[in-house]
Amino acid sequence: MNYLSSSLTRTGLAIVALVTMAFAAQAQTYKLTVGEVGIRLDGQVVSGIGFNGNSPGPVLRFKEGDKAVIEVTNSLDVPTSVHWHGLILPYRMDGVPTISYDGIAPGETFTYHFPITQSGTYWYHSHSSFQEPDGAYGAIVIEPKGREPFRFNREYVVQLADRHPHGGARVMRNLKLMSDYYNRKQQTIGDYFRDVSARGFGAANSERLAWGDMRMMRTDVEDVQGFVGLINGQSPEANWTGLFKPGERVRLRLVNSSAMTYFDVRIPGLQMTVVQADGNNIQPVTVSELRIAVAETYDVIVRPKEDRAYTIFAESMGRSGFARGTLAPREGMQAEVPDLREPPLLTMADMGMSHAGMDHESMTPSASNPTAASQNTTDQSAGDGTTVPVDPQMTADSGSRTATEPMDHSGHMMPGMSEGAGDPFYAAGSGLLPLGVDGGRFLSYADLKAQKPLYPHREATREIELRLTGNMERYIWSIDGVKYQDAEPIRLKYGERVRFKFINETMMAHPMHLHGMWSIIDVGEGKWNPAKHVVSVAPGTTVSMETEVDAPGEWAFHCHLSYHAASGMFRKVIVEGGPEQTQRATTRQEAG
């Protein structure tokens, strides 16, 4: 071998070694064990499921460009799984049993490996049975390759949850036996007489008859009450605390890992500047309060200037409970905890109709519509003589086939928005209308504008309309009146841009989550519409989102309220065509 060829060989080997070292340096490896844990609530310890002996599990930290390698071992005596919520990855790594893979059998280890192609705040959770509401969740923090477009001195993950003293399977059984089992805020005869005094007998009686015809109650804001609100696994009594130095900018990574609870978050005495929504940078907006739907994430920056404590207060949308933590200069400090505000009541506006023009026949069984409340109850055994779904995506019990016509929601859009761009928290006349605190600003989807679009803006190639349907009386939830096991998959073509139009015909808000692809919510801002992984749709509203179909494979699409998904508000999405490899194709382009 001559000198030149030898030199080239050595150079080539050196390059290979450097590349190998660089790749190894980018590989971030974690080991997680799913197992039983004890979760401390105020005054009691309940059994649950967690990661590495704790709930929530450890915060997984990556940097954009890393290769994630996560070994998950199942120490339970039932199958488990882990879904990486909001992460863009090959569908075989998405962690949904029967769609992505078979799950992880007892005693087995499954290794997830995928590239980290994004940055921001995300989370992970089990997608098997009711393991997530029982505590199997944790947070993910991904640093960007470059500098953040905003300044902060320190940061904290603030992971919210709603742990109920009853386990998830028991909660589901009770909801199926009696849908208002956990509704502790029902109206009383005293409320009726007060309404009669204020509005007259005719109006008060007519309204109650209308709600009765619909088999609903004005207090059906939340399905499950009686939970204990948690911040990073700590109850209000335990008081999770994050330290700061006066004058610092503190970044709070808010994650709602609840099974069912929307939280309204505020920090009395501080304004919050929202800089990210579902991991994506937005044009900063300063608010006094924000509502975080189940499964959403928001990053906010606060700047406490005084040498005192501040309470992080997250009360449920139905005002039935709260989570509480503290920001303070020193350990042991605490601030006053606000009282819960008066619980809201649903209005006819929330049902997309005025009292005078309602058609109740399409919502209840009748000779003309005998299938409006039909139900095929074939839940699987829970092992104790009762029946519950084993997996949200496997359940046999869900929504009925109805013959209802879509409601007219045209009166429920924010001014200046296009059809289908209704703000999910601001339906006109809604009993859920958040008024903020002391006249402060409350975050709206209409406030969210992308800082830099993920994709070039273009017209959708087609529209798919999805009606969110259900029957509260029998606790059944569905899409287009069809339960998951009876539904055909939604089929998309690789490379198209699809507009999904959600029409919520129920009295409940639904946080809709499409796996594997970004959901660009239409807030009327064109190319500046924000990209999210969860889009919340309030009662009686129509909300649209668009999706760049750039991820081949099979994906889950469902309401992220645990017991709604388990009851049938769930679909499989199949993306046809695209690269032969299952790895996501690179379609994100510079569009700034």
**Tens of pLDDT along 460-482?**
999 999 999 998 778 889 999 99
Q: Among 29-38, 106-115, 440-449, which stretch is predicted with the lowest mean pLDDT?
A: 440-449
CA distances in angstroms from 291 to 92, 240, 509, 537, 544, listed in the order given: 33, 20, 12, 13, 19
Confidence of residue 80 (pLDDT cuts 50, 70, 90): very high
Q: What is the pLDDT of residue 387?
A: 28
Share of the chain above pLDDT 70, in %: 71
- The whole-number pLDDT of residue 360 equals 29
* Per-residue pLDDT, 440: 82
Bridge partners, residue 298, by sequence: 254, 277
Categorise residue 127: left if φ over 0, alpha if ψ from -120 to 50, beta otherwise.
alpha
pTM of the model: 0.80
Q: Say whether 426 sits in a helix, a strand or coil.
A: coil
Tokens of 164: 């109920």
Tokens of 301: 């920056």
Average pLDDT over residues 426-444: 63
Res. 587: pLDDT tops 60: no
412, pLDDT greater than 60: no
Confidence of residue 203 (pLDDT cuts 50, 70, 90): low
Q: What is the mean pLDDT of the chain?
A: 80
Write the pLDDT tens digit of every residue in 489-515: 999 999 999 999 999 998 889 999 999
What pairs with residue 536 in β-bridges? Answer: 511
Cis peptide before 56 (omega within 30 of 0): yes
In terms of Cβ atoms closer than 10 Å to its own Cβ (0-12, 13-18, 19+), residue 131 is buried
Give phi and psi for 410, each to the nearest 5: -65, -20
pLDDT of residue 225: 87
Give the confidence band of 201 by pLDDT, cuts at 50, 70, 90.
Answer: low
Q: Looking at residues 326-354, what average pLDDT do you find?
A: 81
Per-residue pLDDT, averaged over 360-380, amounts to 31
Yes or no: say if 244 and 154 are a contact pair by the CB < 8 Å rule: yes
pLDDT in tens, 57-75: 999 999 999 999 999 999 9
The pLDDT score that the predictor gives to residue 398 is 32
Buried b (16+ CB within 10 A) or exposed e, 536-561: bbbbbbbbbbbbbbbbbbbbbbbbbb
Query: What pLDDT does 437 receive?
Result: 61
Is residue 262 within 8 Å of 254, Cβ to Cβ?
A: no
| pLDDT over 90 (residue 527) | yes
Q: Return the pLDDT at 12.
A: 47
Let me know: does 209 contact 202? Beta carbons within 8 Å. Answer: no
The residue-averaged pLDDT of 196-207 equals: 59
Burial letters 435-473, b for 16+ CB under 10 A, else e: eebeeebbbbbbbbbbbebbbeeeebeeeeebbbbbbbb
Residue 503 DSSP SS3: strand
Whether the Cβ atoms of residue 505 and residue 538 lie closer than 8 Å to each other: no
